[in-house]
Structure 1
Amino acid sequence: MSAAASAHAPATHPRRVPKPRADALRNRERIVAAAREMVVEHGAEVPMDEIARRAGVGNATVYRHFADRAELLRHVVLSVMDSVIAHAEHAIAVADADPDASFGALRTFVHAAADERIGALCPMLSSGFDKDHPDLLAARDRLEAGTEGVMERARAAGKLRADIAAGDLMVALSQLTRPLPGIACLDIDRFVHRHLQLFLDGLMTPARSELPGEPATLEDLRQA
């Protein structure tokens, strides 16, 4: 093409990808929130039409946003992880501003993570769930860095006993917030924060006893 022709050629612009409409984003958020609630209540095999009903949308809307159950559950896991990461980052900021408040920041983080029902994710991380999806791996790294960061600040301030690792904390959180299938105590959630507080008291220095075995790291939990 000649220089003159080039000068008169229409300019090309990258095609703009339309942003999702606000109502579509709200529907997506409602679906993820409903799926999260129902997984906590009934487990990962809860029917998709029940999730749609809880979210107040039709089945077609669910499948318009999520191709299948696996994709929806992945976004549920990511939603919980993102919330817990935000709590960890806030706790780190508090501890950095005032090292004397580092154990209080750890307490606040643990109780907030319990409220996110992080233990309810355990059944979804079993067979058939793609734990190696890139989005999940990235979120996992951020969650681990945040959890270890909160604990390290409490440890450096002399508030957290030295023989505790992040895996120990995650075991307690998972056990205390994971739904227990088949139990008669349906209102057991009201005891979670009480027992978390007892657990956290046991993490403070000076330690009252020597713990058996080795600290549980997050790598230990991945290999279990």
Structure 2
Amino acid sequence: MAPATATETHRRRVPRPRADAVRNRERIVAAARELLVVQGTDVPLDEVARRAGVGNATLYRNFADRADLLHHVVLTVTDRVAAHADRALAAVDAGEAGAFEALRSFVHAAADERIGALCPMLDSAFDKNHPDLVAARDQLTGTIDELIGRARAAGELRAGIGIGDLMVALSQLTRPLPGSGCGDFDRFVHRHLQLFLDGLMAPARSELPGEPVTLEDIRRG
């Protein structure tokens, strides 16, 4: 029998995290994602712990500080939204959906992932250039660009629309209005997204002012 490699020996020595530890980590990230959309990056971490149903010690055992938690929330949301974009594009490739239909499905799915939690990416103090985040962001934007291009090539998307236009609308329409109390805000989101998406369809009924918005435009503010 061949001797074990160093990697195999290391894997045997490092225990897998317990199922309850994994669940706690996922609950913390999910709670932070929800609260970030409503309260922004200054959300108290003890409030995140309460919403997740864990103690503060459990939160800090999983995440060293606020920056670490925000990093994992943004990475999680980016990965989940990218998966929706991949499925939408695959549906077009398989002939299961038209280009604009797939784009519409993606936008609604992205809203359900609380894409507004990606707003820390616009904060100058946030490490948006971390290699993990750059890779996830590039994958997401590449697929969305492809979806937009397919809809445009099919003559279903009005001219002058960039990926930034889509992301701005998604972020704004999935965040509660200031002073609204945030009560039952979710029930309006998909209705208003549908109105927005109808406005993207060709033929356009008006000429858009300005130029298509890119993600660089958004980051520059």
Q: TM-score, normalised by structure 2?
A: 0.88
| Native 8 Å contact 2:49 2:55 kept in 1 | yes
Q: 2:10 aligns with which of 1, 16, 30?
A: 16
Q: 1:125 aligns with which of 117, 122, 129?
A: 122
Q: 1:56 aligns with which of 53, 58, 67?
A: 53
Structure 1 residues 53 and 221 mapped into 2: Cα distance closer, same or farther (>3 Å)?
A: same
Task: Name the CA distance, whole Å, in 1 between partners of 2:56 and 2:96.
Answer: 50
In the alignment of these two chains, the number of paired residues is 215
1:128 positional shift: 2.1
Taking the TM superposition and a 5 Å limit, the aligned residue runs for 1:30-41 are: 30-41=27-38
Indicate the residue corresponding to 1:148 in structure 2. 145
Say yes or no: does 1:69 pair with 2:97: no
Indicate the residue corresponding to 1:171 in structure 2. 168
SS in 2 for 1:16: helix
1:77 positional shift: 0.9
Alpha carbon RMSD of aligned pairs, Å? 2.1
Q: How many percent identity over aligned positions? A: 70
Task: Name the CA distance, whole Å, in 1 between partners of 2:24 and 2:185.
Answer: 31
Q: 2:104 aligns with which of 103, 107, 110?
A: 107
| Native 8 Å contact 2:74 2:120 kept in 1 | no
Taking the TM superposition and a 5 Å limit, the aligned residue runs for 1:199-210 are: 199-210=196-207
| Native 8 Å contact 2:70 2:120 kept in 1 | no
Task: Name the CA distance, whole Å, in 2 between partners of 1:215 and 1:12.
Answer: 56
Task: Name the CA distance, whole Å, in 2 between partners of 1:75 and 1:52.
Answer: 15
* Unaligned 5+ runs, structure 2: none
1:180 positional shift: 2.9
Task: Name the CA distance, whole Å, in 1 between partners of 2:93 and 2:43.
Answer: 42
- Residues 80-111 of structure 1: CA deviation (Å, up to 9, x unaligned): 11111011001101111228611111111011
Aligned letter for 2:111?
A: A
SS in 2 for 1:202: helix
| Native 8 Å contact 2:74 2:117 kept in 1 | no
Moved more, 80-89 or 56-65: 56-65
Moved more, 122-131 or 212-221: 122-131
| Native 8 Å contact 1:120 1:179 kept in 2 | no
Q: TM-score, normalised by structure 1?
A: 0.87
Q: Whose radius of gyration is greater, 1 or 2? A: 1
SS in 1 for 2:111: helix
Structure 1 residues 30 and 164 mapped into 2: Cα distance closer, same or farther (>3 Å)?
A: same
1:215 positional shift: 0.9
Indicate the residue corresponding to 2:211 in structure 1. 214
Task: Name the CA distance, whole Å, in 2 between partners of 1:26 and 1:85.
Answer: 22
| Native 8 Å contact 1:38 1:46 kept in 2 | yes
Aligned letter for 1:24?
A: A
| Native 8 Å contact 1:92 1:105 kept in 2 | yes
